Chain A
Amino acid sequence: MGVIRKVFRRFADFIEVQLPIAVFVMLFLAFLINVFFRYVVRDPQNWTFELSINAFVVVGLLGACAAYRMEDHVVFDLLYTRLNSKGRNILRMISSVIVIVFFSIALPGSIRYLVRLPAVTSIMRIPLRYIFLPYPILLISMVSRSAYRLVLDIKAFRNKSYVQSYNPEHGDALI
C-alpha cells in the first residue's frame, strides 16, 4: 500500500470509525451518569442530556460515513441484480456521479452556513458549528469515496471486466 493511500486510510479510520465510536461511548456514559444523578443522587444534571443529544448527531452523521464505506446502506437492488455485469457497472457509475455532483454543490453553502453560525448550546456553551461539522464531513466523505469508486468502475468499464473491484470487507479498497 502506498504511503498516500496509507495516510488516507488512517485519516478515514479516525474520522469514520474511531472518533464516532469514542463519541458513542461518551454518549452512553453520559446517559448512565444522567440516570445515576437523577435517580440515585436525586440531583438531575442537564449537561449530560445536552452532551448525549449532541453526541448523537456526531455519531449518526459520522456513522453514516462508516456505513457507506462498508456498503451497509439501504438499497433496492431488484433491477440491479437482474442486469449483467456491464449493466451493473453502468448503474454504479451513475450512482457515484449523482452523489459527486449534488453533494459537491451542497458543500460550499453548508460550510459558509457553518462558519457564520453563531449559536452555542445552552448549558455547555459548545458552538453548534462544531457539533454540526460532521455534516460537511459527511458530504466530503461521500464525494471522495464515490469519486474513488467511480475511477475504479471506469477502469473496469474500459478494460471490459465490469466487475466491482472495491470490496468493503477488504481493507485495501477503502481509500
Chain B
Amino acid sequence: MSWYLLIPFGFLIVAFAIRMPIGLGMLAGSIAYYIAKGLSLGSLLNTVCYGLTNAYILIAIPLFIFTANVMNSSEVTDKIFAFARSLIGRRHGATGYVNIVASLIFAGMTGSAVADASGLGTLEIAQMKKEGYDMPFSCAITASTAVIGPIFPPSIPFVIYAMISGASVGKLFMGGMVPAIILCIVMGVYVYFVSKKRGYPIGAKVTFRYFISSTFKAVPALLTPAILLLGIYTGIMTPTEAGAVAAAYTLIIAFLVYRTLNARALGTILFNTLRITGAIFLVIAGAYGFSFIVTSEQVSKIVVEAMSGIVHSPWVFLLTANILFLILGALVDVNVSELVFIPIILPLVKYFNIDLVHFGVLICLNMMIGLLTPPFGMLLFVTAGIGKVSMKDLIREVLPLIGVLLVALAIITYIPDTVMFMTHLVK
C-alpha cells in the first residue's frame, strides 16, 4: 500500500465536505490517482466501461426503478392500501398495522425504500391524518415501514451487493423474505403497545362485501410480486429477466386493467427512471475506479491482516460490521456505503467463513436503518416533507422504532437461519 491511496480517499472527503456529487468526487479522485501514478487515463475509461458491460445483474436496477415509478404513478398504491385495510379490520391503531402490511406488499413490487416512503407513504400519512393520528407518529411509522422495501425481494441494494460480492441475487432475494416478516412483526408489536397507550382510533368495520371488492381490485397488482418471486424461486427466470417481465406486467395492468396511466405520464416515468438510474450509475462508475485502486493497492489484504489480529470471532466481527454500517448508513448514502466500503471488508467475511448471503442481508438492513437516522436519514426527510412535521418531533418519535428495528437486526445477525432457511429452497 502506497501513499497514493490517500489521493482518492482525500477527494472523497473533499466531496463530502463541499457538497460535491459523491460520484463525481470518486471519479475526480480516480483521475488524480491515475495521473499521480503515471497511468494512462484511457485505462480508467477501460476499467469503468468494461466493468459496466460485465455487470449484467445491474440491468435489473433501472427495471425495478421503472416498475416502482409505474406503480406510484398509476394509483396501484391505492388498491394495495385498500386491500391492506380490509385485511386488518377493526383494531386499535388499525392504520398503523395497515401501514406495515401495505409496505410489505409494496416491497414485493419495488426494490426501493424511498419509492415506498414517497409513493405509498403519501397515501398512508394522509389517511392517518384524516383519522386523527398525531403526525410525528404517522411519519415515523411510515418511514420505518419503508425499511422493509429493499429487504423483501426485489431489492436494489441486494442487486448492487450481488455485483460486488458475487453472491447469488436469487438467494439474496429469498434470504430477505423471513427478515422482512420479522421486521413486520416487531413493528406490529410496537404499534400494538403505542396504540393502546395513546388510544389511537379503531379501524373502520370491514364488511365481507368490502373485503371481496378490495381483494378483487388488488389481485392484478398482487400478482406482480407473485410473478417476480415465482420466476426467481423456480429458476425459470433470472432476477433481471423477472424484473423486465414484472415491469411489462405493471405497464399492462396500469394501461389496460386500472386505466390510470397515459402516454404523457409514461414520458414522465421514463424521465424519472433515467434520473434515478443516472444518479446511482455515477456512483457505480466512480466505484469501479475506486475498486481498481483498492485492489492494486492491496487494501483488503492489509485490512484483513489488521482486523484478524484484533477480532478473533465471527460473532464479534458481525457486531463490529453492524456498528460500522449503522454509522455509515447514518452518514453516507446507501450506494456509497455499499460500493466503497463493502469491497474493503469483504475479504474479512470470507476469512471468518460467514455466508455471503447472510452478510448481505444484514448489511442491507443496517444501511436501511441508517436511512432513519440523521443526518443522512433520507426516509426522515421524505416523510417529514409529506407530513409537514419538524425533524425534531419526527426524530423523537422514530427513536423507539429504531430500537425495535435493532432488536430485529440482532435476531437476524445471530440466528443465521432466519436468512439461510429460504435460500436453501432456491433452485
Contact = CB atoms under 8 A, between A and B. Distances in A.
Instruction: Determine chain A's interface SS by DSSP, over half rule.
Output: helix
The contact size tier of chain A is 35 or more
B56 interface: yes
B43 interface: yes
A24 interface: yes
Interface stretch (A3-11, A64-72, A150-158): A64-72
B275 A66 contact: yes
Interface centre among B18, B46, B274, B336 (most CB of A within 10 A): B274
Interface centre among A68, A112, A128 (most CB of B within 10 A): A68
Given A114-B45, A132-B49, A25 B270 contact: yes
Given A35-B245, A53-B56, A79-B17, A110 B24 contact: no
Interface stretch (B58-66, B99-107, B306-314): B58-66
Interface string A98-110: 1100110110111
Interface in A97-150: 98-99, 102-103, 105-106, 108-110, 112-114, 128, 131-132, 135-136, 142
Interface of B: 11, 14-25, 27-28, 31-32, 35, 40-46, 48-49, 52-53, 56, 58-59, 62-63, 66, 236-237, 240-241, 244-245, 247-248, 270-271, 273-279, 281-285, 331-333, 335-336, 375-376
Contacts, number: 190
Given A53-B56, A113-B46, A135-B49, A31 B241 contact: yes
Instruction: Determine chain B's interface SS by DSSP, over half rule.
Output: helix
B19 A105 contact: no
B118 to A, nearest CB: 14
A92 B279 CA distance: 19
A12 B376 CA distance: 32
Interface string A18-45: 0011001101100110110001000000
B19 A21 contact: no
Contact of A103 (B31, B43, B62, B376): B31
Given A32-B244, A110-B45, 16 more contacts: A25-B270, A39-B236, A53-B59, A60-B277, A61-B52, A64-B278, A66-B274, A67-B281, A68-B24, A68-B282, A73-B282, A74-B23, A95-B20, A105-B35, A106-B41, A135-B48
Nearest to B12: A76
B395 to A, nearest CB: 15
A30 to B, nearest CB: 9
Interface centre among B19, B31, B271, B281 (most CB of A within 10 A): B19
A35 B52 contact: no
